Structure 1
């Protein structure tokens, strides 16, 4: 049996309307590469006909198609993790099913790997997202880079290529919540980036809400750095020192000027500010404790209902 050179992992969640268009572009693009490949679709508990369409595609191209069916919705990153654990290629490419990243650009990532790189990220050229997605993405990128020291120009683009060594390292991790591109970056010896195309979503709608993006970045920052906790500790020290100086100031003022009724609302404002900092710190601490709680339960990250693949 010849080894598979390329595995393309495609998570699918309620993509019924766009799957046929994906098939029409993905398979010809891979055929042109002239390498042995497999396409691993992971159905992440879709509630539409996505699973049935994937089954039909498997029956059409069983030699290069595999389908992993979840019995529920476990999220995009868990779907990709399942793809990592079931793929067999020496090089692995992740691709969204919405065709916003053209499958024809997979060759660019492989060509960059031929230069000796083991992990290839991508930068979307002329992004077609809504304006708020662009602003939020740039802000999160800057915040993430400052906190984690992980330099990814475009963390939201899922079109990425990984060597088998990096995939094996990722599979050895048992984290319940993680951010795969950042995790791969920490294992990579020679990461690189390439510019890829970006198109408007033709059908359907984005599965990431604003809350989902914020939740994802919380996982990124708390999963790869303790800097947020350190910042809060330093903030507590500074506020404590300022509070001490303020108490001394009020004591001296009382001795010189005497008791005053003025300044009551100023004290209220200061008290509310300190309460706000305290609540923020408790929430931040809760994020880390929540990650520990989820990890120590040792629940399965996902449950596979069935795997469609050609028997050897």
Structure 2
């Protein structure tokens, strides 16, 4: 099978309401580019009919459509990592399935890469998110840039283009917790950004809660910088010096003025403040230790149950996958996949449409 010039990786999680609208816009937009392409959908353990709809679309366009099926929900970034390990294109574009980023702007990313850039991020022209997400995103962008020294104008936008060298470098990483846009930036030799459109979600609702966004930013901070720990180390030294000076002051005051109880509540307030700082520092240290714990267990980052793709002979195939462990170079080797097995016989239970068995 010839190597396509472009691979589009799309993670899917409970998107059945908007998938048909995505298909109606995505395929014509890529056809207009006039280059060889493939679209790789990664179903991240959807609990609705997303997997069945993806199977139907694969049967309609098996020449350019491939589907990776997880046997559970492992998160957006793990879905993209699986897409990177299975894609074949010389250039790779990641796109969300919610149509907030128009597929028609894919040509803008590729045109920028034609200028010699190996990694192209995107900046949403006019965000249509809720006000709190907009404010939180700007605050985290500023904090992230100061801590990690990674300059991304819009870190929350996953509509990005990667050169094959960047994809190979990402695939060589064994990290359990990571933030793909920042990881790609650290490998890029000549990164750039372009302005793209941003629309309201076509259907459904966002899969990122406030808690998920906070955890995602913890992954970003702890995976790419030790500055938070170093800041607390310096803060601890400063507080130790100030505490020593304050102790000397209290001793001198007692000798000069004598014992007094008027400052008792002030001391309590100061003590609670210092305890709060200590607890926050312990929690931050725990985040780093927790990530080390997850890494050293060497558990699979995700499990691929099946891959729907057309074999080299032009037949539809459904291959069983395997666990993608942190030390595995490739998930579900293509040579081990079954040939000429009907796509409808895939083991994933959600592949069957309503009423099918």
- Does TM-score exceed 0.5, indicating one fold? yes
The superposition leaves residues 251-310 of structure 1 with CA deviations (integer Å, 9 ceiling, x where unpaired) of 111111100011000000011011011101110100110010000000010001100000
Alignment-derived partner of residue 323 in structure 2:
none
Within 5 Å, give how 1:12-161 maps onto structure 2. 12-161=12-161
Alignment-derived partner of residue 219 in structure 1:
219
Q: Does 1:303 align with 2:303?
A: yes
**Stretches of structure 2 lacking an aligned partner (at least 5 in a row):** 313-357
**Higher share of residues assigned helix:** 1
Cα distance in 2 between the residues matched to 1:142 and 1:261 = 45
Alignment-derived partner of residue 274 in structure 1:
274
Alignment-derived partner of residue 189 in structure 1:
189
Cα distance in 2 between the residues matched to 1:68 and 1:131 = 34
The superposition leaves residues 135-187 of structure 1 with CA deviations (integer Å, 9 ceiling, x where unpaired) of 00000000100000000000000100000000000000010000000000000
Cα distance in 1 between the residues matched to 2:122 and 2:266 = 50
Cα distance in 1 between the residues matched to 2:70 and 2:127 = 31
Cα distance in 2 between the residues matched to 1:91 and 1:202 = 27
The superposition leaves residues 34-53 of structure 1 with CA deviations (integer Å, 9 ceiling, x where unpaired) of 00000000000000000000
Cα distance in 2 between the residues matched to 1:143 and 1:193 = 20
The superposition leaves residues 101-124 of structure 1 with CA deviations (integer Å, 9 ceiling, x where unpaired) of 000000000000000000000000
Structural RMSD (CA)? 0.5
Cα distance in 1 between the residues matched to 2:266 and 2:240 = 17
Q: Name the SS of the counterpart of 2:122 in structure 1.
A: strand
Alignment-derived partner of residue 324 in structure 2:
none
Cα distance in 2 between the residues matched to 1:55 and 1:74 = 20
TM-score, normalised to structure 2's length?
Answer: 0.87
How much does 1:2 deviate? 3.1
Q: Does 1:256 align with 2:256?
A: yes
How much does 1:3 deviate? 2.2
Q: Which consecutive aligned stretches of 4+ in structure 1 deviate over 4 angstroms post-superposition?
A: none
Cα distance in 2 between the residues matched to 1:2 and 1:63 = 11
Cα distance in 2 between the residues matched to 1:2 and 1:89 = 10
Cα distance in 1 between the residues matched to 2:180 and 2:164 = 14
TM-score, normalised to structure 1's length?
Answer: 0.99
The superposition leaves residues 19-69 of structure 1 with CA deviations (integer Å, 9 ceiling, x where unpaired) of 000000000000000000000000000000000000000000000000000
Cα distance in 2 between the residues matched to 1:142 and 1:265 = 37
Cα distance in 1 between the residues matched to 2:132 and 2:261 = 47
Cα distance in 1 between the residues matched to 2:211 and 2:197 = 26
How much does 1:203 deviate? 1.1
Q: Name the SS of the counterpart of 1:174 in structure 2.
A: coil
Q: Name the SS of the counterpart of 2:310 in structure 1.
A: coil
**Stretches of structure 1 lacking an aligned partner (at least 5 in a row):** none
Cα distance in 2 between the residues matched to 1:116 and 1:181 = 19
Cα distance in 1 between the residues matched to 2:10 and 2:60 = 17
Alignment-derived partner of residue 247 in structure 1:
247
Cα distance in 1 between the residues matched to 2:282 and 2:244 = 22
The superposition leaves residues 52-100 of structure 1 with CA deviations (integer Å, 9 ceiling, x where unpaired) of 0000000000000000000000000000000000000000000000000
Cα distance in 2 between the residues matched to 1:202 and 1:81 = 25
